[in-house]
Amino acid sequence: MNDTIRMTKQRRWSESKAQSSWQIFKIMAEFVDGFEALAKLGPCISIFGSARTEPGHPAYELTVDVAKRLADEGFGIISGGGPGIMEAANKGAQLGGGKSVGLNIELPFEQHANPYIDRDANLHFEYFFVRKTMFTKYSQGFVMMPGGFGTMDEFFEVGTLIQTGKMLQVPLILVDSSYWGGLMNWLESTMLKEGYISPEDLDLLKMVDTADEVAEQVLHFYSKHPLQPNF
């Protein structure tokens, strides 16, 4: 490597480090804005699922029913703020007269906020990890509808936080046994069998098929536990 190339690389590295230092303030600002907005909410349930699910699809319509049923019981609904299952969750929240929150994320392909989010509860994030913190801190339960990599990421993140004691135990509900059944079977037949998880870890997960069953799981849990922030 000649001296010119070496100096160019060193200059770019120094510029990158300087930008990283200023980035801390952008991250702090996102945390502060999120904490201030969400701390004002009452008890909420987060609903995760695919952004690709269209209105009229059984999973979309079931999500609307789930969110409405939870809103009927006094819970606000938090979604990722975009289309698909997220839109269905916010739509159901409004139909049930509950708080409808959207935690949107800036993506290379544009994700626009869906029209069912309350105007004062439509938050935008640049950083996934800040957004995840908002979900995990302010949700008193998590409902997993059918989804892809993002849904799996959120599912296992919450499970890991509860498993390791970094987060209080809350309801973790998988909706649609025809979709989640294969994963649950694999967790038991392979992951549990190999000793990578404990039977108690599987007990954290509840698999159901209807909106009423989701509400029953949440209400049963909170008949025995207080409603409070998770950490």
Give me the residue spans of the domains in the chain.
41-222
17-50: pLDDT as tens digits? 556 677 888 899 999 998 988 888 889 999 999 9
Place of tokens 């108690």: 200
pLDDT band per the 50, 70, 90 thresholds, residue 105 = confident
Q: What per-residue confidence (pLDDT) applies to 15? A: 53
Q: Please tell me the total number of residues recorded for the chain in this structure.
A: 231
pLDDT > 90 in the chain, percent: 71
pLDDT at 108 over 90: no
CATH 3.40.50.12780 describes domain 41-222: no
pLDDT at 5 over 80: no
Greatest alpha-carbon span in the chain: 70
Q: What per-residue confidence (pLDDT) applies to 112? A: 78
Residue 93 dihedral angles phi and psi, to the nearest 5°: -60, -45
Q: What per-residue confidence (pLDDT) applies to 22? A: 78
The strands making up 44-48's β-sheet, listed across from edge to edge, are 122-125, 100-105, 76-79, 44-48, 142-144, 172-175, 205-208
Helix (H) or strand (E) holding 174: strand 172-175
Q: Which residues lie closer than 8 Å to 67 by C-beta, 6 or more apart?
A: 47, 77, 88, 89, 90, 91, 92, 93, 95, 96, 98
